[in-house]
A and B are shown apart, each in its own frame.
Chain A
Amino acid sequence: NAGVTQTPKFQVLKTGQSMTLQCAQDMNHEYMSWYRQDPGMGLRLIHYSVGAGITDQGEVPNGYNVSRSTTEDFPLRLLLAAPSQTSVYFCASSRGQGRTPLHFGNGTRLTVT
């Protein structure tokens, strides 16, 4: 099993551009989530999904969209990138929300200039 795979590993965007951060898992996990981590900070929850077709907001959802059309994939979209979205983004999955351990990807480092 590859676990949780995030692409790309690094990305530089200009303000106003859009992009999609990809997250895929091959563990048949129902629960998936996105976090961002700023320097010296803990992880902050952006959006999460408890299954295909179901998404919900986390602590810091503004400026991000998500969808969950399949169990395996949970892409994160930035529609109008802003410098405040410069961060490291982590995707995580688990068999069930709050009931089993999270498995994390290796992160995407995003810089918005």
Chain B
Amino acid sequence: DAKTTQPPSMDCAEGRAANLPCNHSTISGNEYVYWYRQIHSQGPQYIIHGLKNNETNEMASLIITEDRKSSTLILPHATLRDTAVYYCIVIGPDDKIIFGKGTRLHILP
């Protein structure tokens, strides 16, 4: 089973920051938090990952709480092209990589 809980859907106005939450209350010390997104029926695309520190790249920022039980993916200036399903996954070094149902993000013009 997926180790994460995400809201099934969210809306965000174009140009605003999209903040996607993820709960992973049973995460263990050597497990990473990964985020992927899937646009239409394309193959999922890697966005970002982290262990315990906040991370930022050209696509997004990842904020992980101090107790590591939850995280937030931030798309700083959402565009219509960011409309997609976003998957939050917790993975250990030798784990099966299991996806949940993700959050369907709608960017509203």
Contact = CB atoms under 8 A, between A and B. Distances in A.
Interface of A: 4, 33, 35, 37, 41-45, 48, 58-59, 88, 90, 92, 96-99, 101-107, 109
29 contacts: A4-B43, A35-B99, A37-B41, A42-B2, A42-B99, A43-B87, A43-B99, A45-B96, A45-B98, A45-B99, A48-B97, A90-B43, A92-B43, A92-B97, A96-B93, A97-B93, A98-B32, A98-B91, A98-B93, A98-B94, A98-B95, A101-B34, A101-B49, A102-B44, A102-B46, A104-B44, A106-B42, A106-B43, A107-B42
Given A43-B44, A48-B96, A88-B41, A102 B36 contact: yes
B25 interface: no
Contacts of A98: 32, 91-95, 97
B43 to A, nearest CB: 3
Interface in B12-66: 32, 34, 36, 41-46, 49
Contact of A101 (B41, B46, B100): B46
Closest 10 CB pairs of A and B: A104-B43, A101-B46, A43-B99, A42-B101, A98-B91, A98-B95, A42-B99, A104-B44, A98-B93, A106-B43
B92 A41 contact: no
